[in-house]
Amino acid sequence: MSLPGIGPKMAHLISMEAFGIVTGIGVDTHVHRICNRLGWVKTKNPEQTRVALEKWLPKEYWRPINLLFVGFGQQLQTQAMKLFTKAIVSSKPREAVKLVKNLGANINAKDKQTSDTVLIWAIKQNKEIEKIKILLDFGASPLLKNNEKKTAKDYVEENSVLIQILSKKRKIDLVKEEQEKQEDEVEI
């Protein structure tokens, strides 16, 4: 079957949804990107990804993969903060944060309402020091400000118990980052 103006992805999706016939995998940019980041395929475009997936993925999974990965891909882009907060409170926070970050979510994304990053959220929620260290290990910036114009570093300094969070090396890194930022502002 061929329809003018309909590409492979839509043809496979129409076949599945309208007729209940699985003819192939509907691969869009989300499915393509996630499959490559997971290391399932090494391809340059969605059509190559579809062909590569169909070679090894059992046909019983062809239908759900599009729905699952498109939804997850959209969350990676628009709800990164939410994914990281779920990851950090999971039973295996280091592995969960690593997975979400490796799939392309921005660890410094801000909550739309509060402008909190996941690091500021974790500090405000009094999460265990180990969980906050995990966020720092994966690149969470303590210098990003929220609506209150406070950085994660400000919250840590306000709470003497949480000052333990930042190792001596991390404190040095913070000072360097602040100095570089101030130098950049002076140059502008």
Catalogue the active-site residues.
9
**Residue 140: DSSP 8-state:** -
Distance CA 78, CA 86 (A): 15
53 closest CA partner among 25, 17, 16, 15: 25
Residue of 92, 93, 88 lying closest to 121 (CA atoms): 88
Q: Is 87 exposed, middle or buried (0-12, 13-18, 19+ CB in 10 A)?
A: buried
Q: How far apart are CA 116 and CA 108, in angstroms?
A: 9
Q: Which two tokens stand for residue 65?
A: 């993969």
C-alpha span between 49 and 158 (Å, rounded): 50
Residue 181 in tokens: 């930022």
The single-letter DSSP state of residue 5 is: T
